[in-house]
């Protein structure tokens, strides 16, 4: 049996329960209020969305800078950073834990990458594993390693209010083209028990002769809600889905002191409930019903058990993204 919190910690929790219990009750009320708010906001945004004019791209190339799984010589981490290139330019999507862990700088150096090579930075959502570390999350300040910074300020497209030192910060409020012929579907919301009300934007591109490509950071709003928005933005067929889907069913990434933090926080459930096989089955069915030809899975927020289930049960050609690898989507 997999304990999310090992028995060694149970006496500590028992002693702290008079304090923890009331705090959990207060947070649970806020969590439920945010669930109602997020559902209402998402439905309003989807119903108000119009067709989005997007260029038909000749190609979309992905280079993975940060992911949980990594090629030999690269560093894996429980974060995300994806470099997208098209004939219209290039965009970096997320920066992992930024300067607080070695993965981004190390892998970028091996790939001879710096922010001088991109037209824009886009942040999926304001969590530390996507915007540059936990201090960046607390201060709402996107933080990139100094050695990777551009000599000229580039746009940084954000799903919610935050700062981005060295960039021109722009909050995306609705679906729009952002850079390199790639669009944001606009922010969609999710109530998370620990992290609270969270806005996340996914990327959308249209490839000639293939169809639509959707990439997420963590997929917190759920892929079902994301795809509902995509249907409002375009009637093109869905070609590929990629990125995080957040299924730490049996295990979490980046455990500390034996505690499987990812299975407790960020799942869209209170900590006394687990994300489970039923939740995973619903997402697998939703993706199969959407009929993409390809799926590119992130392992940064999804356990190996869930990755294997998806590889075996998804009808699409499915592979797990690897840091240091290139993908011609």
For each of the chain's 329 residues, which pLDDT tens digit applies? 567 776 666 675 566 677 677 787 888 899 999 999 999 999 999 999 999 999 999 999 999 999 999 999 999 999 999 999 999 999 999 999 999 999 999 999 999 999 999 999 999 999 999 999 999 999 999 999 999 998 899 999 999 999 999 999 999 999 999 999 999 999 999 999 999 999 999 999 999 999 999 999 999 999 999 999 999 999 999 999 999 999 999 988 887 777 788 888 878 899 889 999 999 999 999 999 999 999 999 999 999 999 999 999 999 999 999 999 999 99
pLDDT tens digits for range 254-306: 877 777 888 888 788 998 899 999 999 999 999 999 999 999 999 999 999 99
Q: What SS3 string covers the chain?
A: CCCCCCHHHHHHHHHHHHHHHHHHHHHHHHHHHHHHHHHHHHHHHHHHCCCCCCCCECCCEEEEEECCCECCCCCCCCCCEEEEEECCEEEEECCCCHHHCCHHHHHHHHCCCCHHHCCEEECCECCHHHHCCHHHHHHCEECCCHHHCCCCCEEEEECCCCEECCEEEEECCCCEEEECCEEECCCEEEEECCCEEEEECCEEEEECCCEEEEEECCCCCCHHHHHHHHHHHCCCCEEEEEECCCCCCCCCCCCECCECHHHCCCCCCCCCCCCCHHHHHHHHHHHHHHCCCEEEECCCCCCHHHHHHHHHHCCCEEEECCECCEEEC
> Under CATH, which architecture does the 7-328 domain have?
4-Layer Sandwich (3.60)
């Amino acid at each position: 049996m997999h304990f999310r919190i090992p028995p060694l910690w149970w006496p500590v929790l028992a002693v702290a329960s008079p304090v923890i219990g009331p705090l959990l009750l207060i947070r649970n009320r806020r969590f439920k209020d945010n669930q109602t708010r997020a559902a209402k906001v998402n439905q309003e945004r989807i119903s108000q969305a119009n067709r989005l004019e997007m260029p038909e791209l000749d190609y979309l190339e992905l280079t993975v800078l940060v992911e949980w799984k990594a090629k030999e010589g690269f560093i894996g981490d429980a974060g995300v950073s994806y470099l997208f290139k098209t004939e219209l330019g290039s965009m970096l999507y997320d920066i992992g834990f930024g300067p607080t862990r070695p993965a981004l700088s190390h892998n970028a150096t091996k790939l001879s990458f710096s922010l001088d090579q991109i037209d824009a930075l886009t942040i999926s959502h304001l969590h530390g594993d996507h915007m540059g570390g936990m201090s960046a999350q607390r201060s709402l300040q996107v933080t990139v390693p100094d050695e990777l910074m551009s000599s000229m300020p580039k746009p940084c497209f954000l799903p919610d209010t935050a700062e981005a030192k060295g960039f021109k910060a722009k909050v995306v409020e609705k679906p729009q083209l952002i850079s390199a012929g790639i669009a944001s579907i606009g922010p969609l919301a999710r109530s998370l028990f620990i992290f609270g009300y969270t806005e996340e934007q996914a990327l959308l591109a249209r490839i000639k002769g293939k169809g639509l490509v959707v990439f997420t950071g963590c997929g917190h709003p759920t892929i079902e809600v994301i795809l509902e928005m995509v249907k409002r933005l375009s009637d093109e067929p869905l070609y590929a889905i990629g990125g995080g889907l957040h299924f730490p069913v049996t295990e979490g990434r980046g455990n500390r002191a034996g505690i499987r933090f990812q299975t407790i926080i960020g799942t869209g459930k209170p900590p006394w409930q687990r994300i489970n096989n039923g939740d995973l089955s619903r997402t697998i069915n939703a993706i199969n019903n959407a009929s993409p030809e390809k799926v590119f899975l992130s392992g940064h927020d999804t356990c190996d058990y869930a990755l294997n289930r998806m590889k075996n049960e998804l009808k699409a050609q499915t592979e797990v993204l690897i840091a240091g690898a290139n993908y011609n989507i």
